[in-house]
Every structure is written in C-alpha cells, then in structure tokens.
Amino acid sequence: MDMMEFLRTRRTYRRFDGRPVPPEVLTEAVDAARMASCGANRQTVRYIIVQSPAAVAAVQPLVHWAAYLPKEQGTPKPGEQPTAFIAVLQDERRPGASDVDVGLALGSLTAAWAHGVGSCIMGAIDRPALTELLAVPEGMHLCYMVALGYPTHESRVVEMRDGDVKYYLDADGNYCVPKRGMDEVLIKTV
C-alpha cells in the first residue's frame, strides 16, 4: 500500500471484532511512537500498554466515544469494544514536555494500521480515575488513551459540505469523516 492509501484508510475506528491485538503489535506501536520526532530530542513521552481483558474492561467505562454521534451509535457495544489501550503520558519531571511531541507520538501509534489494527485516539477521558487505575507514576501526566482492535466497519474521508466538520454514519453504519479540500488548506506555493 502506498503512503497516501495508508493515510486515507488509517482512520478512527470505534467498533472491533474482539480478537486480541498481539502483544508484539502493541509493543511495535510503542516503538514506532518512541522513534517519532520530538523537540530538542528530549523524549518526554511515556506509555502504558493495557492488554489484559480485566484491565481493558476496567478502562472502558472511563473513556468517552464519538461526541458527534448519539451514544447508542458512537459507543461500542459489548462484543464490539477494543481489546487493548495504550495510555500516552508526559514525563513532567523532564524539561521540554510538549503537546507537539505527544501529537507526533500519537500519529506514530496509529501506524498499527499496517497490521490491520484500527485505533481511536481519546482525549475525553476520566483522567483522575485512569491515573489511579493505571498507577501512573508520580510526575507523569496522562494525556490520551488510544483504543486498539481489529475494526468491523469502514471509516472513510468524504468531501466536506458547507464547512460541517461533524463525522457521521452512513446507511451501512460506516464512519464518514469530512475533510477540507486541498484548495482550502493549501494557501499557496512559493
């Protein structure tokens, strides 16, 4: 698959088939994030892999899915839930902690798509409860949770209409994600 095809199909996924993601794929995703560029090479981003069924089940009620959709459409039902999460943390004990670095790491984590593993980056999370549940070390801040699993639906980019950025489900229950056109985002080439 070429780069643009990979990026077009590496979308957010919210319904999964229940197959566990192999530990080596999760570790490879963290390794990809570890290799991401970061400011001044400070490397302040840290990770916790959540893969045991009990731990995944404990995380599930502490994350919130698909704000643009009604809960019954956007939240995975039992049997559709992710089989792993990766917590993305900032080590605030190190100088130079940066949201940009976290963003670059998140983009690299989602490269698990190369193994057919879909993901959903989640910022609407219960940070205090997850910090306690995951025993996040002192001096580290939980930034995001990334849900992972093998998707049971499609997620595709569609043309944006009237500036509406809200994603939606089509008649088959697949995600449609409006994106601005190149003519709007590319201001000029000099």
Please indicate, yes or no, if residue 189 is contained in any of the structural domains: no
Please indicate, yes or no, if residue 13 is contained in any of the structural domains: yes
Total domains, the chain: 1
Tell me the mean pLDDT in the region 106-131. 95
Q: Using 50, 70 and 90 to split pLDDT, how confident is the model at 8?
A: confident
In order of 38, 93, 109, 168, the CA distances from 148 in angstroms are: 24, 28, 10, 20
Please indicate, yes or no, if residue 179 is contained in any of the structural domains: no
CATH code of the domain containing 21: 3.40.109.10
Which residues have CB under 8 Å from 170's CB, separation 6+? 176
**Does 133 score more than 90 pLDDT?**
yes
Q: Using 50, 70 and 90 to split pLDDT, how confident is the model at 164?
A: very high
CA 112 distance to own-chain centroid? 10
Please indicate, yes or no, if residue 164 is contained in any of the structural domains: no
Q: How many percent of the chain have pLDDT more than 90?
A: 75
37-75 confidence digits (pLDDT tens): 888 888 999 999 999 999 999 999 999 998 888 888 889
Residues 32, 105: Cα–Cα separation, whole Å: 8
Please indicate, yes or no, if residue 63 is contained in any of the structural domains: yes
Q: What is the pLDDT of residue 72?
A: 81
Residue 25 domain boundaries: 3-153
* Average pLDDT score, the chain: 93
Residues 5, 162: Cα–Cα separation, whole Å: 26
Q: What is the pLDDT of residue 30?
A: 97
Residue 109: exposure state from Cβ atoms within 10 A (0-12, 13-18, ≥19): buried
Relative to beta strand 140-149, strand 118-122 is antiparallel
Please indicate, yes or no, if residue 129 is contained in any of the structural domains: yes
Q: What is the pLDDT of residue 145?
A: 98
Nearest CA to 147 out of 83, 95, 75 is that of: 83
